Amino acid sequence: MTAATPQTTIGFAELSDLLAAIFQGHGTSAEVARCLAHNCASAQRDGADSHGVFRIPGYLSSLASGWVDGRAEPLVEDLAPAFVGVDARGGFAQPALAAARPLLEAKARSAGIALLAIRNSHHFAALWPDVEPFAEQDLVALSFVNSMACVVPHGGHSALFGTNPIAFAAPRANGQPLVFDLATSAIANGDVQIAAREGHQLPEGYGVDRQGQPTRDPKAVLEGGALLPFGGYKGSALSMMVELLAAALTGGHFSFEFDWSAHPGAQTPWTGQLLILIDPSLGAGRNFAERCERLIARMHDAGQTRQPGDRRYRRRAEAELHGIPLPAGELDKLRRLAQGRSGPASA
């Protein structure tokens, strides 16, 4: 997208309905369509372009390939006083989380902490929308999800880990929740795809080509190359942790463990997700939200005036006032898809 690209705007509810119509028209149930549409529209509204409508072609391609079950009904399992499991049954992770949420919250309120282990799931979206709603209910939330093998472990020579993001959300006394969502790779895979599409180079130290040589070319990373972990061995260790929590603990696949070669067009990784909820009111931090404010105030005093999530909240407020900006041509394509006419969803 360039500054000269004609822009238009659309409201959040209208975009959510539009995306839900697209998903349902391409084989998902109404409930799955609603969950995916809300997630995509939220990312687009908040300025996370690599996880917004940019993802629609990947979703539709995976659905068309038969790789993911868009009508799967998740099975929620009450495993222990503070442990919930969900078999997503080859479907998407967001509907699995939605199905388990009432039981998970109840356990967290009762025990002070609760764990949700999702397996046999496809997660292809931003991770922060999974945790932010819990912080709005005065809970602390932490989530981990692995993906397809596209990251070389530190000191290695071939892709083994996924981008393996970690998301965290905490309530504040005087503001919106403190939320971060970060990949343990040097850059999210979706941002590499956008750079390739728009002809941008990557910063140094972000990826290697198919020979394992450093490259700034996003196409070389995507076409047989791989990403690098952020921070060298530190990011690599965190990525390893995510593999163990999101796959080994949940019963999901490791990032290297599934084979989608029989499903041309598949793009959604079939892995697992772990989510941990904590009720801070039951511990020594009964005034947790106020303590959070105190820390943020000191961070401001130390010079960090922008906190995690601030940019998203600012973009959200702008979108609520003026609508969500989209290239006019891209919105036209989305509307054609919702009407059942063929064509890519992204320019």
Q: Is the pLDDT of residue 171 over 50?
A: yes
Q: Quote the CA–CA distance of 192 and 31 in Å, as a whole number.
A: 31
Tokens of 224: 């047989």
Q: Which secondary-structure segment (H or E) carries 223?
A: none
Three-class secondary structure of residue 19 per DSSP: helix
* Residue from 80, 152, 154, 164 nearest 115 by CA: 80
Three-class secondary structure of residue 258 per DSSP: coil
Crossing angle for the helix pair 30-45 and 128-135, nearest 10 degrees?
90
Task: Write down the pLDDT at residue 345.
Answer: 42
Task: Write down the pLDDT at residue 3.
Answer: 54
Q: Quote the CA–CA distance of 159 and 169 in Å, as a whole number.
A: 30
Q: Quote the CA–CA distance of 170 and 10 in Å, as a whole number.
A: 30
Cβ atoms of residues 123 and 68 within 8 Å:
no
Task: Write down the pLDDT at residue 229.
Answer: 96
Three-class secondary structure of residue 297 per DSSP: helix
Q: Is the pLDDT of residue 67 over 80?
A: yes
Q: Quote the CA–CA distance of 264 and 246 in Å, as a whole number.
A: 25
Section 295-317 average pLDDT = 95
Q: Is the pLDDT of residue 190 over 90?
A: no
Q: How far separated are the first and last CA of the chain, in Å rounded? A: 9
Query: Is 301 considered catalytic here?
Result: no
Section 175-200 average pLDDT = 92
Q: If you average pLDDT over every residue of the chain, what do you get?
A: 94
For 34-64, the DSSP string reads HHHHHHHHHHHHTT-GGGTGGGHHHHHHHHH
Per the listing, tokens 């442990």 go with: 83
pLDDT-above-90 percentage for the chain = 88
Q: Is the pLDDT of residue 131 over 60?
A: yes
Q: Quote the CA–CA distance of 139 and 269 in Å, as a whole number.
A: 28
Beta-carbon contacts of residue 175 (< 8 Å; ≥ 6 apart)? 293, 296
Q: Is the pLDDT of residue 122 over 60?
A: yes
Please identify which of the residues 69, 181, 191, 279 carries the catalytic annotation. Answer: 191
Burial 88-120 (b: 16+ CB within 10 A, else e): bbebbbbbbbbbbbebbbebbbebebbbbbbbb
Please identify which of the residues 17, 29, 49, 50 carries the catalytic annotation. Answer: 50
CA angle 132/319/183 to nearest 5° reads 40
Separation in Å, CA 308 to CA 22, 232, 236, 237: 32, 22, 22, 22
Query: Is 26 considered catalytic here?
Result: no
5 residue type, one letter: T
Query: φ and ψ at 160, to 5 degrees?
Result: -140, -45
Task: Write down the pLDDT at residue 2.
Answer: 52
Alpha-carbon dihedral sign for residues 20, 21, 22, 25: positive
Q: Give 342's pLDDT tier (boundaries 50, 70, 90).
A: low
Section 208-237 average pLDDT = 93
Q: Is the pLDDT of residue 343 over 60?
A: no
Q: What radius of gyration do the chain's Cα atoms show?
A: 20
Q: Give 285's pLDDT tier (boundaries 50, 70, 90).
A: low
Q: Give 344's pLDDT tier (boundaries 50, 70, 90).
A: very low
284 or 140: whose pLDDT is higher? 140
Task: Write down the pLDDT at residue 284.
Answer: 73
pLDDT in tens, 1-41: 555 678 999 999 999 999 999 999 999 999 999 999 999 99
pLDDT in tens, 90-111: 999 999 999 999 999 999 999 9
Section 261-279 average pLDDT = 97
Please identify which of the residues 51, 122, 123, 253 carries the catalytic annotation. Answer: 51
Query: Is 50 considered catalytic here?
Result: yes
Section 256-272 average pLDDT = 97
Section 178-199 average pLDDT = 91
Q: Is the pLDDT of residue 137 over 90?
A: yes
Q: Is the pLDDT of residue 313 over 70?
A: yes
Task: Write down the pLDDT at residue 341.
Answer: 61
Burial class (CB in 10 A: 0-12, 13-18, 19+), 9: middle
Q: Give 189's pLDDT tier (boundaries 50, 70, 90).
A: confident
CB-side exposure of 312: number of CA atoms within 13 Å?
A: 22
